[in-house]
Amino acid sequence: MSLAAGFKELNNLLPGQVKANEPMARHTTWRIGGPADIFVEPAGVAELARLVGWVHSRGFPLYFIGNGSNLLVRDGGIRGIVVKIGRAFGQVRVEGTTLIAGAGTKLGALAAIARKSGIGGLEFTAGIPGTVGGAVVMNAGANGTSMADLVQEVILMDATGELDRRPAQELGFGYRTSNLLGSSLVVLEVTCRGVARDPALIRADMDRYLARRRASQPLSYPSAGSVFKNPPGKTAGWLIEQAGCKGMRQGDAQVSLVHANFIVNLGKATARDVQILIHRVQQLVYERFGITLNLEVQVLGED
């Protein structure tokens, strides 16, 4: 079956939830990316199950995204079907000091609910722009804490639409990774356990983290956050700056003058611009220190 025929079938299966040739620049915080052949934002779990079952039976490539905050989509776009786990998966329940959040919940929204509920432990998420599902897959972290410190269990959906509940110890958490990364499983719901804490103290810590973020990160331009993982015993930003890369520019992509581990979009940057900068930075850091910087951002699509 062609993708064009598949689009018609999907439109009938999930009316109002399917788009053709959707620019991915609309769905990434870098504001960069060519079109996805088919783009779907399911209206709920039942619709998502129908979708993945349909795709599984036809063998089309399938990709899941959240807020697109850690994602570089190449200029040629994505061949296949992109599924956005968005607002329909944004419900949150509070049970004592436990938070049960849909995968599409913004981390900022979850942190605000935790604060109002007197649940500590999520202070580190203040200002992180991703969704809960993406944060679990990437084991997002800041200020010495990560999602692995909070997650108790997740509910996943497999390629046939079946649900699976898994405890945190089976997720293979590591530095900015988990065994969900690159798998065919999609996160639907995440259970996080916090601790009872005074909301005023929670707010104070969040405000402090936000102030630090505003002072040290280039928040006035589109970016995808940290581009490279920190190698053992070093920070990528320091290495990049010492290698003379700070301020380096390719087209409208620039190694940030504020934080060297950010590449910002000054207005009309392309994915190719960003990729050229990435390769230059990796080369210069290796030449100076003998260290290979590995990407923290995920790259999808075709040149």
In this prediction, residue 201 carries a pLDDT of 97
CATH number of 88-215: 3.30.465.10
With a cut of 90, say whether residue 6 has pLDDT above it: no
For the record, the structure tokens of 14 come out as 């999930």
Binned at pLDDT 50, 70 and 90, residue 154 comes out as: very high
At 256 the pLDDT is: 98
Cα 112 from Cα 191, distance rounded (Å): 16
**pLDDT at position 38, please?**
97
pLDDT band, very low/low/confident/very high, at 108 (cuts 50, 70, 90): very high
Domain 3-84 matches domain 88-215 at the CATH topology level: no
Residue tagged active-site, from 117, 223, 226, 256: 226
Does 2 participate in catalysis according to the annotation?
Answer: no
Model pLDDT for residues 251-299, shown as the tens digit of each residue: 999 999 999 999 999 999 999 999 999 999 999 999 999 999 999 999 9
pLDDT category at 3 given cuts 50, 70, 90 is: confident
Between residues 78 and 56, the one the model is more confident about: 78
| Burial environment of residue 35 by CB neighbours within 10 A (0 to 12, 13 to 18, 19 or more) | buried
Q: Which CATH class is domain 218-300?
A: alpha beta
pLDDT of residue 143: 82
User: The whole model's pTM is what?
Assistant: 0.94
Whether 197 sits among the annotated catalytic residues: the reply is: no
Quick: pLDDT tens for 169-202.
Answer: 999 999 999 999 989 999 999 999 999 999 999 9
Measured between alpha carbons, how far is 165 from 302 in angstroms, rounded to an integer? 34
Reply yes or no on domain 3-84 having CATH 3.30.43.10.
yes
Alpha-carbon distances of 13 from 18, 21, 37, 194, rounded to whole Å: 9, 18, 17, 40
Q: Are 223 and 258 contacting, i.e. CB atoms less than 8 angstroms apart?
A: no
| Gap between the Cα atoms of 180 and 172, Å rounded | 8
For the ranges 56-60, 111-115, 251-255, the lowest mean pLDDT is seen at 56-60
Could you tell me the two tokens for 88? 């329909």
- Burial of 118 by CB count in 10 Å (0-12 exposed, 13-18 middle, 19+ buried)? middle
Report the pLDDT value the prediction gives residue 1, as an integer from 0 to 100: 72
Q: Which of 31, 74, 115, 176 is catalytic?
A: 176
Question: Where do the structural domains in the chain lie, given as residue ranges?
Answer: 3-84, 88-215, 218-300
DSSP result, 172-223: --BTTB-TTTTSS-EEEEEEEE-EE--HHHHHHHHHHHHHHHHHHS-TTS--
- Residue 211: the pLDDT is 94
Structure tokens at 40: 């779907």
Confidence of residue 76 (pLDDT cuts 50, 70, 90): very high
Choosing from 22, 41, 189, 296, the catalytic residue is 296
Q: Which amino acid is at 114?
A: A
d(CA 53, CA 232): 41
Q: How far is CA 206 from CA 36, 110, 140, in A?
A: 36, 13, 16
Element of type H or E holding 71: strand 71-73
296 part of the active site: yes
- Round to whole Å and give the CA distance between 114 and 119: 5
